[in-house]
Amino acid sequence: MGVELQFVHGSGPAGRILHSDLDAYVARGVQGAPSALQGGYRENHTEQAIPLVGLRRKIAQKMQESKRRIPHFSYVEEIDVTELESLRVRLNEQWGKERGKLTVLPLLARALVLALRQFPQMNARFDDDVGVVTQYGAVHLGVATQTDAGLMVSVMRHAEARDLWASAAEIARLADAARSGKAGRDELSGSTITITSLGALGGIVTTPVINHPEVAIIGVNKIVERPVVRQGGLVVRKMMNLSSSFDHRVVDGMHAAQFVQAIRALLECPAMLFVE
């Protein structure tokens, strides 16, 4: 009859539920109790108050501070990563067993490092209490990592000095440390620009929250195959969106667009990732 027995009062010995108790429960229709015709449909009046404590509370406070203090604007661009994915597969076939597997993130990190040479104002932190923007030569790349305790930003220091495999190894190490709760304070602070990715759950468009006091965050959406018009013909290509947010107090829309386009140009022609 689809009745959850924990809702039925038992009148038998030691609270045992009798057949008559079941009949009476259904006859009363308590809380929309389902009948044989109703199936499993019934009202649910349960409530659960969950206080935000510990790390979850700190995450909530930081997100609130970021949205309160930073006037965000977002810029979304789609990128053809067909050639990038082909390169990644070839590199993994050639070097994967010896050096470890590459994901998209180390390649994106390399593109980010190169693009920041043209747009150093994106690799910065803004102290709005004193009105000072500090630009950094070092790229201390924040990598947002989802953990059971919530979203944490691990910091890959000096991304500009790491090759693809060194970046991949450090990203994996930091993610493991964050998820296991072993990340130290120095591994969770001091980033100058952040990448955030939901991997296969990345959707089409996101509006990432800037990691205060930084001025930019790059959001990675999932890679999907889509029909694309190229040279007048319809072809299937692997496409990925970058959904990025910027602090409009110190980053102009034109410069943000140019910065993302510079990243796009590098990812769509991945040979340029290795040209100094």
Q: Is 72 a catalytic residue?
A: no
Q: Is 248 a catalytic residue?
A: yes
Average pLDDT, 10 consecutive residues per value, the chain (276 residues) = 83 89 79 50 83 86 93 97 97 95 96 98 96 97 89 95 97 94 92 90 90 97 94 96 97 98 98 90
Determine the pLDDT at residue 40. 64
pTM for the model stands at 0.82
Determine the pLDDT at residue 39. 55
Catalytic residue among 72, 158, 248, 255: 248
Options 3.90.79.10, 3.30.230.70, 3.20.20.10, 3.30.559.10; CATH for 54-274 is 3.30.559.10
Q: Could you give the residue range(s) of every CATH 3.30.559.10 domain in the chain? A: 54-274
Catalytic residue among 23, 127, 163, 252: 252
Determine the pLDDT at residue 109. 98
- Please state the three-class secondary structure of the chain as a single string: CCCCHHHCCCCCHHHCCCHHHHHHHHHHCHHHCCCCCCCCCCCCCCCCCCCCCHHHHHHHHHHHHHHHHCCEEEEEEEEECHHHHHHHHHHHHHHHHHHCCCCHHHHHHHHHHHHHHHCHHHCEEEECCCCEEEECCCCCEEEEEEECCEEEEEEECCHHHCCHHHHHHHHHHHHHHHHHCCCCHHHCCCCCEEEEECHHHCCCCCCCCCCCCECEEEEEEEEEEEEEEECCEEEEEEEEEEEEEEECCCCCHHHHHHHHHHHHHHHHCHHHHHCC
